[in-house]
Structure 1
Amino acid sequence: MNPPKTALRTIIDLHRPLTLTALLCAAVLLVSVPGILLDGRTIGGDPAWLKPTKFAISIAVYNLTFAWLLSLLTRWRRTGWWLGTVVAAMVTGELVAITLQAARGRSSHFNYATAFDGAVYSLMAFMIVTVWVATFAIAAILLVQRLGERSVTVAVRASLAIALAGMAVAFFMTSPTAEQMVTLQEGGPSDVIGAHTVGMPDGGPGLPLVGWSTVAGDLRVAHFVGLHGLQVIILFAFGLIALADRYPRLAEDALRTRLVLVASGSYTGLLALLTWQALRGQSVIAPDALTLGVAAALAAATAAGTWWALRRRVREHV
């Protein structure tokens, strides 16, 4: 008789390359978190070990989510496994590159100061594009499968679309800024090509922990919100199921599906709003009247959608 699986073994067996990469992220955190406290060096105004910490957490959450999603496949399982393995390999390479540059005291992104720095960033860019393509392919496979209840299936499909859009926001960061473009057009060298801040150079005042700019637009806000919409929408769907015992109306899968659709639409609107705000050079903590007006309209639309979802009755078939 085989011994019962531990919880850790059960998680690892969902998709070993993805889950083992998540364990690697945990190992990186054992170095990067003390590094933030003990290493006084900064890169672009942030602690040198802040970026490896943020990426290790994000990659771990991303990988565990996809390991679970791929375990649900009933068709194209082998293709899904290989796509997940590609994702695991690429994000592992990205994490290693970011950690290496942090240890060297060098920026990992947009850095062309030396031939080595440029090669590291170019390799990272290739890996990021590969992850996006592989994620798109996984989303296409999941799109044609029923994953249990319809509300959960809709949540998975919508959240994957949101995550792909959030990942794509990063491509805005790779374009040269106006100042960098002038330097390049004049034939001069540029140590940095691209930026996550819009309206001011990178490295200015930022929010604690995340480092998002408090004085200019920052595309990392929309990138983060969109990328982790994958977890937010799926957890929302499961939250509705968990509340069904307390609120009997939520036992109706059609009602939960409508609420998931409303939440997905609202979250997509938030992603669009944050991207638009950043591209206008406006800090996420300093919205102007126009941004607040659009946010109010989005909130009103969400409230109206929720009312529609709760009031609508499924037509009974006689």
Structure 2
Amino acid sequence: MAWYCHYLSDFNGTPFNWTVITLFGFELLYIIFQASKGQLSHFNISTPTYSLLYSLMGLIAVVVTLYIAYIGLLFFTQSFPNLPSYYVWSIRLGIFIFVIFSFEGGLMGARMNHSVGAINDNSNWWILGWSKIVGDLRVSHFIGMHALQVLPLLSFYIFKNTKATIVISLLYGLLATSTLVQALKGKPIISQKKVKELE
């Protein structure tokens, strides 16, 4: 976001910087603190304090996502004569997909569970920890949020074409959506049979 924000005219990045540093800094410290005690940070409502802190984590994610959505809106309303149109569209669509799938994290929070078909399964699909046996909502969350980096990089260095950028962005969004639908059906990203073949 720091890279993208410097393209915006008359945009003061200082409030955004401190919002992200302060809020995510607090969240990161809480996650580290809980991990050091062998305690869950996410989905932990075992005490009133943990419940409050977990709720604050959700609120932090919402505030930062809304701020990024506002910046995305600026990319749609401002003109960028010094930038290739395909690159501008990749930033616009990357932020748009990011915002949608950032809010998808709220689905996990509402369910108090990132798995569909089990309770927070972590059967450790490779290094990512995604479930091998049931649906995992973290997959679409991960894919969708990284549109923020993937689409501008692909557009700027590989496709260099506005139509191609829009098509790839739509396909990327469909990929993230399909993994969400698959997870909600209780199916892992790769079937057990394929996992065993890969192993």
What is the TM-score normalised by the length of structure 1?
0.57
Give me the whole-angstrom Cα distance separating, in 2, the residues matched to 1:98 and 1:68: 27
AA at the equivalent of 1:210: L
Match of 1:152? 87
Give me the whole-angstrom Cα distance separating, in 1, the residues matched to 2:77 and 2:21: 23
Give me the whole-angstrom Cα distance separating, in 1, the residues matched to 2:18 and 2:69: 14
Match of 1:265? 170
Aligned length: 191
Q: Displacement, 1:149?
A: 1.1
Deviations 1:163-218 (A, max 9, x none): 11110110110123xxxxxxxxxxxxxxxxx0101111113422132110000000
Asked if 1 retains the 8 angstrom alpha-carbon contact of 2:58 and 2:106, the reply is no
Q: Bigger relative contact order, structure 1 or 2, given CA contacts below 8 A and separation 6+?
A: 2
Label 1:113 to 1:195 Cα distance change in 2 as closer, same or farther (>3 A): same
Match of 1:169? 104
Give me the whole-angstrom Cα distance separating, in 1, the residues matched to 2:92 and 2:39: 38
Runs ≥4 residues deviating over 4 A: none
In structure 1, the gaps of 5 or more residues are 1-65, 177-193, 242-249, 251-255, 288-318
Summarize the alignment of residues 287-302 of structure 1 with structure 2, pairs less than 5 Å apart: none
Give me the whole-angstrom Cα distance separating, in 1, the residues matched to 2:182 and 2:21: 32
Give me the whole-angstrom Cα distance separating, in 1, the residues matched to 2:185 and 2:14: 40
Deviations 1:50-73 (A, max 9, x none): xxxxxxxxxxxxxxxx01111111
What is the TM-score normalised by the length of structure 2?
0.90
Match of 1:34? none
Give me the whole-angstrom Cα distance separating, in 2, the residues matched to 1:240 and 1:210: 27
In structure 2, the gaps of 5 or more residues are 193-199
Give me the whole-angstrom Cα distance separating, in 2, the residues matched to 1:222 and 1:81: 31
2:8 aligns with one of 53, 73, 81: 73
The alignment's C-alpha RMSD in Å is 1.8
Asked if 1 retains the 8 angstrom alpha-carbon contact of 2:139 and 2:179, the reply is yes
AA at the equivalent of 2:24: V
Higher-Rg structure is 1
Match of 1:222? 140
Give me the whole-angstrom Cα distance separating, in 2, the residues matched to 1:229 and 1:285: 21
Match of 1:122? 55
Identity, in percent, stands at 30
Q: Displacement, 1:236?
A: 0.7
Give me the whole-angstrom Cα distance separating, in 2, the residues matched to 1:84 and 1:284: 35
